[in-house]
């Protein structure tokens, strides 16, 4: 028999638990579980053509609805994101690229008030229009 166990943390740090299994034929088993939540790793690059938009999935990992702030460092990128995301739900962040004469690299940062420095970083790459 196999059993899938999923660990989905809602805060940084370590978590411990015990999985208890029992059956009349097999007896009882106690399995220690250990999880470690690390800060989110940067993702991307997400390539966007001039005048185009990319949808970047983002999940609220917290147990309560949370308001996130999304900002792109370069002004050629525009970010549209939900103001508040329900607990454990995934939504798309729409990132548009206005264009320019050359490729543009930047990053989008997603943070939340009171986040103690935790943020999600998405690298962006804007491509110029075809000539």
**Entry field: residues in the chain:** 131
**27 is a domain residue:** no
- For the chain, give the mean pLDDT: 91
Tell me how far apart the alpha carbons of residues 77 and 54 are, in angstroms, rounded to a whole number.
11
**80 is a domain residue:** yes
**13 is a domain residue:** no
Number of independent structural domains in the chain: 1
**16 is a domain residue:** no
**118 is a domain residue:** yes
What six digits make up the tokens of 104? 């543009």
pLDDT higher than threshold 60 for residue 57: yes
**1 is a domain residue:** no
| pLDDT tier, 131 (very low <50, low <70, confident <90, very high otherwise) | low
Q: What is the CATH number of the domain that holds 115?
A: 2.60.40.10
Domain that holds residue 63: 43-127
pLDDT in tens, 82-128: 889 999 999 999 999 998 889 999 999 999 887 677 899 999 999 99
User: According to the model, what pLDDT value does residue 89 have?
Assistant: 94
**54 is a domain residue:** yes
Contact predicate 122/108, CB 8 Å: yes
β-partners of residue 111 are 69
**33 is a domain residue:** no
User: According to the model, what pLDDT value does residue 50 have?
Assistant: 94
């Amino acid at each position: 028999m196999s059993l899938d166990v999923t660990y989905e943390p809602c805060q940084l740090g370590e978590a411990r638990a015990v999985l208890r299994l029992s059956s009349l034929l097999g007896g009882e088993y106690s399995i220690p579980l250990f999880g470690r939540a690390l800060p989110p790793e940067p993702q991307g690059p997400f390539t966007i053509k001039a005048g185009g938009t990319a949808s970047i999935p983002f999940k609220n990992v917290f147990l309560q609805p949370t308001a996130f702030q999304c900002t792109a460092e370069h002004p050629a990128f525009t970010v549209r994101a939900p103001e508040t995301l329900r607990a454990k739900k995934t939504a798309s962040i729409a990132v548009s690229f206005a264009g320019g004469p050359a490729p543009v690299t930047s990053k989008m940062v997603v943070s939340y008030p009171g986040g103690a420095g935790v943020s999600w970083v998405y690298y962006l790459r804007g491509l110029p229009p075809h000539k």
